[in-house]
Amino acid sequence: MVESVRRIANVTDIPVFADADTGYGNAVNVHYTVKEYIRAGAAGLHIEDQESPKKSGTLAGRRLISREEAIGKYKAAVAAKKELDPDFVICARCDSIGSEGGNFEDAIQRSIAYVKEAGVDAIWVNTLTKREEIEEACRRIPAPVIAPYYGPRPSPTFEEFQKLGAAAVLYPSLTTANGLQATWEVLHEFKERGPVVLEEWNKKAQSSKWGMVPRTQDPILPAEKIRKLEDEFIPKELQRDYNKTFGHNRH
């Protein structure tokens, strides 16, 4: 996970808010986890109060550690960030709603304790299913609240979330789920109809109002930057021939 953070932070200039699961152990592990995420370039992370090994935050079987143990882990996280980067954001994710023996009120009480006793910077209240719960959580918890919605559709709009008091909203697997669906479809179509499918998908991408994915530009492959570095630092007689080799007119 730390290496994934490092790779992402290395190719973007926006703050990276990273998933740290349960902190990968007890309070001691959490302390070192936070330091490693900071060194990797993250701007913040969230750690949940589940038992380890954890379960998906949206599937059945979640079970929490005690409130006292969770508070200790979050205290360790806050202490670690104060040593290396006081601006680093520690977010406590409370998974009480929908877990074994958990409920909305327990989530609120835990969240308040995580802020007041452990000193975390923000709270993520997981699996909220009602707009009224979002509003109440944001009103009662004395810190910025991340409030994803898992209730009946339609989901609140961005404007609704703001009115309800949410500081931020997360959409888990937003890119991976939809990107995987596109991959699933193109592979099945390719198997059925062959290379013509690739031509169709390329035309679809070219006609998109956002254009094609810039695969030869920052941050994926900074081709122009590489050319400039070659021009500046490699002798002319050793530079590559970009004008007569295959691919010179492909972008």
Contact residues for 218 (Cβ-Cβ < 8 A; gap 6+): 11, 225
What are the start-end ranges of the E strands in the chain?
Answer: 17-19, 44-48, 89-94, 122-125, 145-146
pLDDT of amino acid 133: 97
pLDDT of amino acid 250: 62
Residue with tokens 């932070």: 9
Cβ pair 43, 16 in contact under 8 A: yes
**C-alpha dist (Å) from residue 57 to 21, 63, 94:** 10, 10, 10
pLDDT tens for 97-126 read: 999 999 999 999 999 999 999 999 999 999
Amino acid identity for residue 150 in this structure: Y
Q: How many CB atoms lie within 10 A of CB 50?
A: 24
* pLDDT exceeds 80 at position 247: no
pTM (2 d.p.): 0.89
Amino acid identity for residue 143 in this structure: A
Domain boundaries, the chain: 2-172, 175-238
pLDDT tens for 46-68 read: 999 999 889 888 778 899 999 99
CATH 3.20.20.60 for domain 2-172, yes or no, is yes
Rounded Cα distance, 132 and 114, in Å: 22
> Which alpha helices (H) appear in 118-215, and where do they start and end?
131-140, 158-164, 174-193, 196-206
Mean pLDDT for 39-49 is: 98
pLDDT of amino acid 58: 79
pLDDT tens for 72-106 read: 999 999 999 999 999 999 999 999 999 999 999 99
